[in-house]
Structure 1
Amino acid sequence: MIRLEPLTGRHDRSGFECGVAPLDLWLRQTALQHQAKGVSRTFVAVPAGQAAVDHFAAAGHPELGPTSILGFYALAAAVAPLTDLPPIAAKRYPRQVPVTRLRRLAIRHDLQGQGLGRLLLADALNRARDAAPSVGSAGVFVDAKDDTASRFYQGFGFQPCADEPLKLYLPIW
């Protein structure tokens, strides 16, 4: 019912609202620019065809169309200082560690709590893991916006970093 694909100009960015204004604004104004400049890559969840659009309409979402964004995430390559890693992971690496950064992850406010966040996170982690042998990445960093988000990521094995409990790390290897 849902398809994950790279963000393009045909996606309806203006209709997306997750309840966190900076995330909505970033998707509308910055995501495509960053993609064009190679700064990050954004992937979106959209209805997977007309049957999915019809299903969403029957479930009370008649405003959703084939280009409606249900959720998104962005990935970027990064370098993290060794001091940012959790102590147990830090002893394995040099002073600077190549990582993948999960820059943003958001779900439409009216679709939250239905498992779409787990699906997007799994896809992001699979993409990071698949790219790691080719580009070098020891793990994935994410900056949780609050304690609830931190608990969400920790449920998937992310570990809080030494001095910043909302910065979390998941080793790939």
Structure 2
Amino acid sequence: MSFVSEPLDERHDMSQFGSGRPDLDRWLKQHAVSTEARRTGRTFVWQDDGRVVAYYTIAAHVLVRDGLPKALGRGNPAQIPSVLLARLALDKTLQGRGLGAVVLAEALGRVVEATRTVAARFVVVDAIDETAAAFYARHGFRGIPNTLRLVQKVSDIEASFGS
């Protein structure tokens, strides 16, 4: 089974997408296209015969240095250019196969490529729950204490890709 990955547009069939997280499913179906149109987030989808089976959304973001642990914030400006991984979801039919990590790697690869043109220091994730936070932590993200926010340096991501 191979999937085509591309930017979301109106021609993609999102109607059957079901991740098991109604809030993520609803956001894709009701808000992703308008977010694209307003240029407040860029959504990429995996599709199989036109049907969306996975998606992620990335957007420009700013971290406030004072909101970070000192070890991460030290040496940075008061406002740190970042990229927000705003959404990431995989259809239930594909879960349990390690494909979530593949979708994440694709998203992070796009971020690394984008930061070769527009600078950003961190990738930020606001995990939807503890399970999601643990997923991101397994992939190199560091948690911000007492929150579900996690961050990873773009330079560390790039190094992990060997680029």
TM over 0.5: yes
Instruction: Indicate which of 106, 109, 126 corresponds to 1:143.
Output: 126
Unmatched 5+ stretches in structure 1 = 48-65
> Which residue is equivalent to 1:43?
44
After TM superposition, give the deviation of residue 85 of structure 1 in Å. 2.7
Alignment of 1:57-136 (within 5 A): 66-136=49-119
Helix, strand or coil at the partner of 2:89: strand
Distance (Å, rounded) in 2 between the aligned partners of 1:101 and 1:150: 15
Helix, strand or coil at the partner of 2:115: helix
TM-score, scaled to structure 2: 0.90
Q: Residue deviations 1:97-147, cap 9 Å, x none?
A: 010000000111222111221111001111111111321110100011111
Unmatched 5+ stretches in structure 2 = 156-163
Instruction: Indicate which of 140, 144, 158 corresponds to 1:161.
Output: 144
Helix, strand or coil at the partner of 1:133: coil
> Which residue is equivalent to 2:158?
none
Q: Would the aligned equivalents of 1:2 and 1:45 in 2 still touch at CA under 8 Å?
A: yes
Distance (Å, rounded) in 2 between the aligned partners of 1:138 and 1:131: 12
Distance (Å, rounded) in 1 between the aligned partners of 2:146 and 2:71: 14
Distance (Å, rounded) in 1 between the aligned partners of 2:67 and 2:97: 32
Helix, strand or coil at the partner of 1:123: helix
Give the ranges of 4+ consecutive aligned residues of structure 1 lying more than 4 Å apart after TM superposition: none
2:45 maps to amino acid: V
Distance (Å, rounded) in 2 between the aligned partners of 1:75 and 1:149: 17
After TM superposition, give the deviation of residue 172 of structure 1 in Å. 0.8
Alignment of 1:25-44 (within 5 A): 25-44=26-45
Distance (Å, rounded) in 2 between the aligned partners of 1:153 and 1:21: 20
Helix, strand or coil at the partner of 1:169: strand
Helix, strand or coil at the partner of 2:20: coil
Q: Would the aligned equivalents of 1:84 and 1:162 in 2 still touch at CA under 8 Å?
A: no
> Which residue is equivalent to 2:10?
9
Q: Percent identity?
A: 38
Helix, strand or coil at the partner of 1:157: coil
Distance (Å, rounded) in 1 between the aligned partners of 2:79 and 2:33: 29
Q: Residue deviations 1:140-161, cap 9 Å, x none?
A: 0001111111111011110001
Q: Would the aligned equivalents of 1:87 and 1:162 in 2 still touch at CA under 8 Å?
A: no
Distance (Å, rounded) in 1 between the aligned partners of 2:133 and 2:34: 28
- The structure with more radius of gyration: 1
1:85 maps to amino acid: L
